[in-house]
Amino acid sequence: MKSSNFSWKRHFQRWLITKALMVLIRITGSTANVQRINRHILKTTLQEYGSVIVATWHQNIYFSIWLLRKQNLTALISSSDDGEVIYDVFAHFGYQAVRGSTTRGGIPALKQMIKLLKEKTSVAITPDGPLGPPEIIQSGVVLLAKYSGVPIIPWHYEAKRQWRLKSWDKHKIPKPFTSIVESFGEPFHVPNDLLSEDVPAFCKKLETIFQELARKTREVISDPKNEP
């Protein structure tokens, strides 16, 4: 009986959190002033390769759900308990999902993502997830690009006004009625003959690109004309 009550409470909590996130995302998305930078990069790269890997820091997951909802992406979502809520929210906004990780023993997830990319289905991934360290590129995304033959498109957003959670990634929650800037970076290519000993160097290169993209996006959102 106690186990049954615990299970019911757990499901109810999951349902309640999921519904609250859905509503907050929709309110914020409907009221925010969004500026998009280099969105054409995604379109032209898709035309050339048929699919891409959209990559962003783990701290950006929450509002990426709204900003990228029309890009026909399949998201890689952690198989943890927290991932259950994230999965439900992604599904509500029309995303498909793969459960697992491309690192920490996540070979099945990596293989599934490679298969999707070769079938011309684009994927979204957080290369510093699911447990960090924050803003450090793990090898999974580089290996995914190597074996699939498609480029990585770095993506970042910043909000003028937002909350920061006390989580390991300091997750960002934009406030309603704020100004938001989203930026797409140039395609990052990984050669299919990349040696395993060279993977860390490519991770560092990609890290630098992410840092520069974030810096430029922060500069734009800090411009006084981007007041909500």
**Domain containing residue 153: CATH number:** 3.40.1010.10
Backbone phi, psi, residue 36, to 5°: -110, 130
Task: Give the chain's length.
Answer: 228
Cα(129)–Cα(140) distance, integer angstroms:
10
**Contact, 63 vs 39, CB < 8 A?**
no
Q: What is the pLDDT along the chain (228 residues), one digit of tens a residue?
A: 455 555 777 778 888 999 999 999 999 999 999 999 999 999 999 999 999 999 999 999 999 999 999 999 999 988 766 678 888 999 999 999 988 776 555 788 899 999 999 999 999 999 997 888 999 999 999 999 999 999 999 999 999 999 999 999 999 999 999 999 999 999 999 999 999 999 999 999 999 999 999 999 999 999 876 665
Q: How many domains does the chain have?
A: 1
Predicted confidence at residue 108, as pLDDT, reads: 86
Predicted confidence at residue 199, as pLDDT, reads: 97
Cα(42)–Cα(38) distance, integer angstroms:
8
Tell me which residue range forms the domain holding 47.
Answer: 2-226
For every residue of 75-118, DSSP letters joined together read EEE-SSHHHHHHHHHHHHTT-EEEES-SSSS-HHHHHHHHHHHH
- List C-alpha distances in Å: 171 to 15, 26, 196, 209: 21, 18, 32, 20
Cα(87)–Cα(90) distance, integer angstroms:
5
Helices and strands of the chain, counted as H and E runs: 7, 9
189-206 b/e (C-beta count within 10 Å ≥ 16 → b): ebeeebeeeebeebbeeb
What SS3 class is residue 139? helix
The residue written with tokens 């920490």 in the block is: 104
Look up the pTM and report it.
Answer: 0.91
13 secondary structure, DSSP code: H
Amino acid at 27: I
